Amino acid sequence: MNQIAQPLARYAAWRRAGDFVFLSGVIAVDPQAGKIIQGYKDIPTEAAQQIGQTGEFSSDFKEGPILAQSWYVLNSIKNTVESAGGQMSDVFKLVQYFKNLDHFPLYSSVRKQFFPGNPPASTVVEVSAMLPSADILIEVEATVWLPLR
């Protein structure tokens, strides 16, 4: 799962404007497999364990979808930023859209693993729905400062 964020329609995954790279919103969809990330089973085992998989059905069933989607989205952003020549420390702004703001603390625990140093500026918004399905719980867009060399 070392892929960059892929658009699901006719738009760019990212665009550079001078020293800035703007990423489109990223959701937890694997376009190559044609599937939505539903839980721990859809991400690498090591990542699932790192973000909180317990092996207890009730906990994993309840928290797994948002934790797995959070990891998948942030990992896709990481891969996209790296493909543009940057690293996660170059991300200075995130806009995070949630179907349920109660998911924010779980997402935040995953986000800390991707931004262990200075976290980026952040906007968090609750929305009523996201494309392409009600199974999408989170969408994140990123802005990166990456001076041309």
CA distances from 83 to 13, 25, 76, 142 (A): 11, 16, 10, 14
Beta bridge mates, 29: 36
| Rounded CA separation 137/28 (Å) | 8
Instruction: Please list the pLDDT of the chain residue by residue as tens digits (149 residues).
Output: 446 655 555 678 889 999 999 999 999 998 778 899 999 999 999 999 999 999 999 999 999 999 999 999 999 999 999 988 999 999 999 999 999 999 999 999 999 999 999 999 999 999 999 988 999 999 999 999 999 87
Q: What residue ranges define each of the domains in the chain, with the CATH number in brackets?
A: 14-145 (3.30.1330.40)
